């Protein structure tokens, strides 16, 4: 699954082409393209989908979404280790 996930911009590489930055998704940090939001600032929240920051989001909405995604296990599904997830799914199907 590929979610549009809110995250906080923690750094911006203004020298990169295309413009990129590091986004914090509730403790998981990933690099994302910021070309669609060239005037975004460190500390702002954005929605990221398939590696592209698509729009700004207020902090309250971002935190609420991240909390809900975490409760549903969607952050682990989206950002967790793929090998670990596959092994866990395999062992769960063996138990059934």
81 sits in the region (left: phi over 0; alpha: psi -120 to 50; else beta) called beta
Nearest Cα to 2, choosing from 44, 54, 67?
Answer: 54
Three-class secondary structure of residue 74 per DSSP: helix
Q: Where are the domains of the chain?
A: 5-95
- pTM over cut 0.75: no
Q: Assign 86 a pLDDT band (cuts: 50, 70, 90).
A: low
Give, for 60, the enclosing helix (H) or strand (E).
helix 59-71
pLDDT in tens, 28-67: 889 999 999 999 999 999 999 999 999 999 999 988 888 8
Is domain 5-95 in CATH 2.30.30.140, yes or no?
A: yes
């Amino acid at each position: 699954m590929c979610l549009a996930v809110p995250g906080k911009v923690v750094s911006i590489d203004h020298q990169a082409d295309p413009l990129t930055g590091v986004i914090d998704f509730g403790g998981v940090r990933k690099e994302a393209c910021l070309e669609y939001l060239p005037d975004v600032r460190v500390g702002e929240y954005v929605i990221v989908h398939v590696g592209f920051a698509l729009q700004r989001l207020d902090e309250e909405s971002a935190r609420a979404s991240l909390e809900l995604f975490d409760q549903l296990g969607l952050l682990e599904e989206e950002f967790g280790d793929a090998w670990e997830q596959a092994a866990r799914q395999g062992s769960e199907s063996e138990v059934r």
